[in-house]
């Protein structure tokens, strides 16, 4: 029961923050699940990749809910998704495989480095500013695989990388977030496939399917899918700059803990 409550709270927080700040829920899910699994007796070589794979599994639910919410508001350019989606999926397939192949401590430090980048960006108040050019996917065949690889490597939906890329290509921030939300699903699917199909089989762990920790996939995914639309609604009503900076500081602390614990 305690574990269920913890997973429910992690999922609700991840979904709310993803909708409110436009960040990947994996930034919350991965460290929380890593510490939960280590607390249950898993070693670091298993806990970290399992946490990342599980975070990707939860996004099969949360990304679908988020994309549907943005599509209802008319913020998804499906022509862009059809082109960018397969490119990020290709990178995510590689990123998922690579994450399953790296030793746990190395993977934790890779996570820490990339999360530090995201945290510093939020702490300094950086936001995606639209470049005054006609919207278009310039260089998508290079950017897509890189974005997908980095996203799957740390278990996020790619919004932290996709939104600045799309804004640089002339899309409004609202459209960029909507397209990134829709592209989160192919990242989650391909990244999970990289773990489950291409990676070395994980050690047997209770209630797991390969690298997926099933209670986490189901409970966190359902809770995140329920709260992400609420976060999207709150983002319209609340000024989120101060909250983004506070969360950026939190991410730096999480990154330090993952790197050196």
| Residue 21 pLDDT | 66
Cβ atoms of 146 and 92 within 8 Å: the answer is no
For residues 154 and 30, the answer to whether their CB atoms sit within 8 Å is yes
pLDDT at 203: 64
pLDDT at 223: 95
Q: Measured between alpha carbons, how far is residue 185 from residues 22, 63, 110, 112 in Å?
A: 15, 5, 23, 23
Higher local confidence (pLDDT), 249 or 194:
194
pLDDT at 64: 85
Biggest CA pair distance of the chain:
53
Mean pLDDT across 115-144? 81
In this structure, the number of other CB atoms found within 10 A of the CB of residue 38 comes to 17
Asked if residue 185 lies in contact with residue 71, where contact means CB atoms within 8 angstroms, the answer is no
- Residue 83 is predicted with a pLDDT of 94
Q: Would you place residue 9 in the very low, low, confident or very high pLDDT band (cuts 50, 70, 90)?
A: very high
The CA–CA distances, whole Å, from 261 to 47, 48, 108, 196 equal: 13, 12, 10, 27
4-13, 104-113, 137-146, 191-200: which has the minimum mean pLDDT?
A: 191-200
What's the confidence (pLDDT) of residue 1? Answer: 79
pTM of the model: 0.87
Structure confidence at residue 24 (pLDDT): 65
Tell me how far apart the alpha carbons of residues 168 and 108 are, in angstroms, rounded to a whole number. Answer: 30
Give the Cα separation of 254 and 138 in Å (integer). 34
Could you read off the pLDDT of 138-177 as tens digits, one per residue?
Answer: 998 899 999 999 999 988 888 778 888 998 899 987 788 8
């Amino acid at each position: 029961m305690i574990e269920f409550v913890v997973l429910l709270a992690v999922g609700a927080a991840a979904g709310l923050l993803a909708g409110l700040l436009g960040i990947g829920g994996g930034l919350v899910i991965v460290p929380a699940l890593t510490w939960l699994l280590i607390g249950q007796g898993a070693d670091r070589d298993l806990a970290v990749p399992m946490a990342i794979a599980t975070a990707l599994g939860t996004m099969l639910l949360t990304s679908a809910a988020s994309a549907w919410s943005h599509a209802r508001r008319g913020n998804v350019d499906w022509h862009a998704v059809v082109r960018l989606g397969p490119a990020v999926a290709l990178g995510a397939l590689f990123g998922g495989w690579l994450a399953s192949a790296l030793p746990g401590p190395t993977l934790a430090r890779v996570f820490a480095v990339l999360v530090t980048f995201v945290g510093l960006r939020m702490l300094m108040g950086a936001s995606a500013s639209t470049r005054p050019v006609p919207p278009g996917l310039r260089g998508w065949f290079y950017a897509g695989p890189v974005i997908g690889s980095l996203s799957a490597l740390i278990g996020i939906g790619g919004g932290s990388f996709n939104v600045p890329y799309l804004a640089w290509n002339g899309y409004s921030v609202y459209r960029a977030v909507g397209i990134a939300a829709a592209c989160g699903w192919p990242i989650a699917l391909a990244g999970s496939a990289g773990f489950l199909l291409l990676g070395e089989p994980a050690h047997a762990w209770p209630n797991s399917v390969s690298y997926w920790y099933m209670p986490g996939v189901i409970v966190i995914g359902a809770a995140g899918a329920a709260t992400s639309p609420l976060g999207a609604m709150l983002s319209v009503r609340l000024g989120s700059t101060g909250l983004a900076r506070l969360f950026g500081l939190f991410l730096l602390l999480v990154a330090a803990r993952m790197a050196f614990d």
